[in-house]
A and B are shown apart, each in its own frame.
Chain A
Amino acid sequence: MILGACAWALQAAAAWNGVQATAVPLESGLRATAATWGDVNGDGRADLVLARHDPRRRFVRSIAVHFGHDGRSASGAKPDLGFDVTPDTTAFAVGDVHGDPGEEIVLFSASGAFAWRPRASEDQRFVRLFAADFLWQVADPARVHPWSAGLVDLDRDGLVDVIAPEPGGWRLALQRRKDGVAAFETTFALVAPPEPLEDDAYVSLENGTPEFRGRRGGGTLRVSFGLDSSLKDELDLYDPLLDVTERVPSPHFADFDGDGDLDLLAQTTRRLWTYAQVEKGKFSLQPTASATLPVVADRERRLDASYAARVLDLDLDGRVDCAIFASDKRSEDVRTQALFFVQGQGRGDAAGTADSPVFGARGVPSQLLVIAGFVAAASFERVDSDPYPDLVVRCVRPDLIDQLRSISSETLDADLYVYLNKKGVLSKRPDISWRFPVRLRGFDPNARFVGDRTGDGWSELFVRAEPESAKLYALRVGRDGVSVFEKPLWERALDSDAEIDFPDGAARDGGPRGLLVREPKQVIEVSWR
């Protein structure tokens, strides 16, 4: 039977032709610093949107749009639309924020959000959406950063709203339309909860004159020694005129209380804060609830390579749940604890309370998994055919014998574990366990499920484990369970400097719509047939 399954898989691999890869060359000398898709011309097809930069000149940055075509053949380097980005622009996103047909390019600067309307007359091409103190105020001379997390339909009215993080909180601008005209006049400036003051073991040794430090906030781990010296400046020790750091917790939108509205959740060092959408399209400016975090996110934890906290709806009951990954400090072995807090599932000490429906009174998880090794990344993806998000963990197990083997191969063995989600409860042991070598080179390795492309009920796995190639693997079900079939379904050579983007927006099966490979001279659109 196993031989039969292998033979089927080999045949399927040989015959499968479900990936379409199209290369879009870049104009001479330009580099793509970000890539995404959007329907800019409103024809219902995905257009390729590139943020570009001329590496020979600072602040020469542009946005280019290559229109999508059915069965796109190799497109020319000249974009169908494009514009030079002004020096104050720091970020961009693609979304329908204007009454014009198609989606617009949303631009962010220190003073707020703007839309670029490609078909408008010159004086109407840039329109201000709303004013904000956008957190990232100083433009990068070499790139316009994507901020796609800033476009969300917050009130579920079918219109994209805009989120602008600010130094003191988050500004939510809700889109309203009247007679086809879009407006962002309804804004909510949510005030971030205060962070505790850090202790930094530093006392200046000054003589009473003003101390010119010009520093706001913290974030860099420094040990400073005041030596009260009058040393000349040949050493060129860095002496800033101005040093500014601004921080705000990342905002997450999920239904906290099961009332059907998205609420804002944010984490500080010790607490999880909720800002309720008290009625449709109306957010509370101050936290409406807060609960003690079961794992304090202090400096020690932030230095923990495995630490991460996520919000998601694990049992699809419409209420938010939480997953926390943290290394087990008490264990002799290197291992990571994964704690799951599922609203309504906990019993006894793990039961939720009115004050703390997610973490309960004592922060006891409803489920606990122990994973061997460091967790490099954990995500929730759809691996099998049910709609519940499955846990996908990529980790490294420090194993002496394996590592000695690494000396000759110059690779490091990584492990991929999949814990399937059975109606909100994850398997106690990995349903899929796959070890693969990752080349020890300067690149960003990737292993991600991309949805069921073959129709066999299991998602396929995209892997870049070496700089020069990417592969797509199928899963197979055998007598011993589910495994990764070793022969790839699809493989493509990449430039070793390539970077990969998974644009936002899911395909019908929950997987990504495709991926974009940014190489020095071209961008490759990889999509599914």
Chain B
Amino acid sequence: MALTVVLSAAHALGAAHALWAAHALAAGPQTAGAAAAALAPAQLERVATIEPELDVAEWSFVDVDGDRRRELVLVGTRGELVVHASGAAGSAPLSLAPKRGASLGDPAHSLISFANVDGAGGEELVVLSTDGTLAYGFDAEKGLVPLERLSRRARFGLRVGQPTLAEFTRDVNADGKPDLVVPAGEKLEVWIQGGAKAAEGGAPARFAAFQRTAAVTTQVSRWGARSASELSDVLESSFSIPNLTVRDANGDARPDLYVADGASRAWHLQRGDGSFAETPDVTVDLALFKDTIEEAKVRPGHTLALGDDASLESRDLDGDGIPDYVIAHRRKVWSFLGTQAGPQFASPSTILKTADDTTALALVDLDKNGRADLLLVKVQVPTIATLVRGVFGEWEVTIGASGYENQGRGTFATTPKWKNELSVRLPAILKLFKNPEQFVRRFEETARRFRGGTIGDFDGDGRVDVALVSLDRAELELWRGRELAENTFGESALDRGVAKVLFEDPNTTWDLERIAGAFAGLAERRAAELTGGRPREAAEGLRARDAYRLDSVRNVDLEGDGKDEILAIYRSRNAPARIAVDVFRAR
């Protein structure tokens, strides 16, 4: 999971989650498992370098030939398919001459993915384009070549400019076979794999058929910059298609489809045969849930209202393993217990009336009893006077939090058990306008403390090794033989962080420095967890930053010997379509 803070328009609750997460983990290092056993001196050396003579759109390490070793697959900007494979044991990794295969027919409109469609041999390259869905397989002589059209009707028509990796091959119904999720206008089509496929062109089909089982509405977001009045204007077009939301809604351990469409929410429950109903099994119109109290608007000095639409949150409130639901509109809150037949919105387990307008609500286990409590947050819009004063000096935004205890069977206490008020102190607006870069840099510095790297078994001893990029991003550093603590960024840790920040921390004032510091603490904590706080055992230089941008650090078992190689993948700053791959081995 990547936690992203968008500085330009941070969603209030998303930002709060990020803050909570940071706080939850910034309290200081925890024990990180047993101390490492004494090991021989470590070595980290660069054993191979690849600089493909190709403008690369996407790259991936995939076992395409089924030999249990991963190859480097390059997809060129013009649709070229090139595979770099390793030779015999003892030779340098990826040392065989690159195998150039077929080219994609319409690279500007092609989404690509890798999946083992038939469960046999290596993974196929699956291409979704205007021409339908095609599977490409590896041939030792010819490289990656088209094998078979998986579906003519499952196709994609938008322009992506060059071949683009997207997660459209997904095992939606958890039957162990990849299915297709195809963006089509304002919908996502779900094509489930199963059943015999008709022969095409007289040849027997290698792969199973894909059946369109549902088309669910999705909320495509769009943005465009269209002003061309100034020379400095940049024209921009962007769109974003959300992924399919899949979760078990009725406790049968089979994932179901969840659809949000305006005020409507719908669930398509999975059938026993792995299919989904074309029409939803359960729908709820949130617009029917109305509080008759006067609408809260964004007004100076009043609670910030993020629109006047009802909101829905989901979590298991009664511990039966089935998600339950809470709907809120203005000051009224309804909760509904989910059943084995799916969600239901006919019989509320409780209806709660709050004293104040709220900005956001969340379901969080505030008292560590395993049951999610109801958390209401209200953000106070500053008065005009505060804003005007804030032009020249610091100003504060007040955040009120109320926690209503979960009393079992989907009910909450009618009065808050936890209550607190926090303030976020912001710098003078004039200062922000005069030098916004200063604030952006502060957060970027914080972000750099999150050291990229990778975790794997580099020496084949069955223990976890860690390779991290140094803080100055000049070296790759190695630690071996760690036993990592369980992930502390789990749900309960997040809940604890939320409870701590909102109700337990005596210091209720946050400013940008403290927020950045919390994130920085999180980064340092994470690094300490990974390394056990020990000095590095070995290091090797990375490429110069002024010539190359480090795109990614990966661990991949290229040799199939149980020892992961460490790969640093760069993009050239002068020619961004050109990549370079350095392969490191740890001993």
* Residue on B nearest A406 in the bound complex, by CB: B388
A242 CA / B554 CA spacing, docked (Å): 22
Given A165-B235, A311-B231, A398-B392, the answer on whether A227 and B519 have CB atoms closer than 8 Å is no
A268 CA / B35 CA spacing, docked (Å): 54
The stretch from A67-75, A232-240, A348-356, A519-527 touching chain B is A232-240
A165 CA / B220 CA spacing, docked (Å): 22
> Which range contains the number of A residues in contact with the other chain?
35 or more
Interface contact A207-B437, CB-CB below 8 Å: no
A203 CA / B571 CA spacing, docked (Å): 12
Interface contact B6-A243, CB-CB below 8 Å: no
Residue B121 CB within 8 A of the other chain? no
The stretch from A45-53, A132-140, A173-181, A487-495 touching chain B is A132-140
A147 CA / B237 CA spacing, docked (Å): 14
Question: Which residues in A have their C-beta under 8 angstroms from that of B185?
Answer: 87
A528 CA / B48 CA spacing, docked (Å): 74
Residue B487 CB within 8 A of the other chain? yes
- Nearest CB on A from B189, distance (A): 12
Residue B556 CB within 8 A of the other chain? yes
Residue B62 CB within 8 A of the other chain? yes
Residue A224 CB within 8 A of the other chain? yes
Interface contact B60-A210, CB-CB below 8 Å: yes
* Residue on A nearest B364 in the bound complex, by CB: A234
How would residues 198 to 211 of chain A score, 1 for a CB under 8 Å from any chain B CB and 0 otherwise? Answer: 01011111111111
Interface contact B164-A242, CB-CB below 8 Å: yes
Question: Which residues in A have their C-beta under 8 angstroms from that of B5?
Answer: 222-225
Interface contact B2-A224, CB-CB below 8 Å: yes
How would residues 374 to 414 of chain B score, 1 for a CB under 8 Å from any chain A CB and 0 otherwise? Answer: 00000000001100110110000000000000000000000
Residue B490 CB within 8 A of the other chain? yes
Interface contact B491-A232, CB-CB below 8 Å: yes
Residue A305 CB within 8 A of the other chain? yes
A244 CA / B185 CA spacing, docked (Å): 15
Interface contact B554-A241, CB-CB below 8 Å: no
Interface contact B573-A201, CB-CB below 8 Å: no
How would residues 549 to 587 of chain B score, 1 for a CB under 8 Å from any chain A CB and 0 otherwise? Answer: 111111111000000100000010100100000000000
* Residue on A nearest B111 in the bound complex, by CB: A242
How would residues 293 to 332 of chain A score, 1 for a CB under 8 Å from any chain B CB and 0 otherwise? Answer: 0000101100111011111000000000010000101000
Question: Which residues in A have their C-beta under 8 angstroms from that of B234?
Answer: 219, 247-250
A147 CA / B228 CA spacing, docked (Å): 9
Question: Which residues in B have their C-beta under 8 angstroms from that of A300?
Answer: 437
Given A225-B447, A231-B494, the answer on whether A241 and B168 have CB atoms closer than 8 Å is yes
In chain B between 15 and 32, which residues have their CB closer than 8 angstroms to a CB of chain A? Answer: 17, 21
Residue A3 CB within 8 A of the other chain? no
Interface contact A137-B237, CB-CB below 8 Å: yes
Question: Which residues in A have their C-beta under 8 angstroms from that of B17?
Answer: 235, 237
Residue B334 CB within 8 A of the other chain? no
Given A208-B456, A208-B555, the answer on whether A197 and B230 have CB atoms closer than 8 Å is no
A231 CA / B487 CA spacing, docked (Å): 9
- Nearest CB on B from A150, distance (A): 9
Instruction: For A216, give its contact among B161, B226, B230, B241 (CB under 8 Å).
Output: B161
Residue ranges of B at the interface with A (Cβ–Cβ < 8 Å):
1-8, 14, 17, 21, 60-62, 70, 108, 111, 113-114, 158-162, 164-168, 181, 183, 185-186, 188, 220, 222, 224, 226-245, 247, 314-315, 363, 384-385, 388-389, 391-392, 430, 433-437, 440, 443-444, 446-448, 450-456, 469, 487, 489-491, 494, 519, 522-523, 526, 549-557, 564, 571, 573, 576
What are 9 A-B residue pairs whose CB atoms fall within 8 Å in the complex? A201-B447, A208-B61, A219-B236, A220-B8, A221-B6, A221-B8, A226-B450, A244-B164, A246-B238
Nearest 6 A/B pairs, CB to CB: A203-B452, A212-B167, A245-B238, A208-B556, A250-B228, A250-B233
Residue ranges of A at the interface with B (Cβ–Cβ < 8 Å):
58, 87, 91, 110, 133, 135-138, 140-141, 145, 147, 149, 165, 167-168, 196-197, 199, 201-214, 216-217, 219-252, 265-267, 272, 297, 299-300, 303-305, 307-311, 322, 327, 329, 334, 374, 398, 400, 403-404, 406-407, 410, 440
Supplied contacts A228-B455, A239-B243, 12 more A-B pairs, CB within 8 Å: A135-B236, A210-B62, A214-B167, A221-B8, A223-B447, A224-B4, A227-B489, A229-B489, A242-B239, A245-B237, A310-B230, A403-B392
